[in-house]
Amino acid sequence: MADDKSKTKQDRKQVSGEEPYEVAAFARKYGIPPSEAQTIIKRYGPSRKKLDAHMAARG
């Protein structure tokens, strides 16, 4: 998924698993390794809302 800088509102609702800086930011946010973040994004999809809900349920 390409990161289109002109679509900031919609684009911020998604986490691109193919963009290393987005995976790294997600990993930093939750204190997990980037490889684990990549796996979670692939498994649960790019929706930040779903990813945040999954991480909250994880504890």
- Determine the pLDDT at residue 13: 87
Helix 20-30 / helix 34-44 crossing angle, nearest 10 deg = 100
Residue 18: both structure tokens together: 């193919």
**Would you give per-residue pLDDT tens digits along the chain (59 residues)?**
556 666 556 667 888 888 999 999 999 999 999 999 999 999 999 999 999 999 999 97
pTM above 0.95, yes or no: no
The ranges assigned to domains in the chain are 16-58
Distance CA 41, CA 58 (A): 14
Distance CA 46, CA 9 (A): 14
| Burial grade of 54 (CB within 10 A; 0-12, 13-18, 19 or more) | middle
State the DSSP code for 1.
Answer: -
- Determine the pLDDT at residue 33: 98
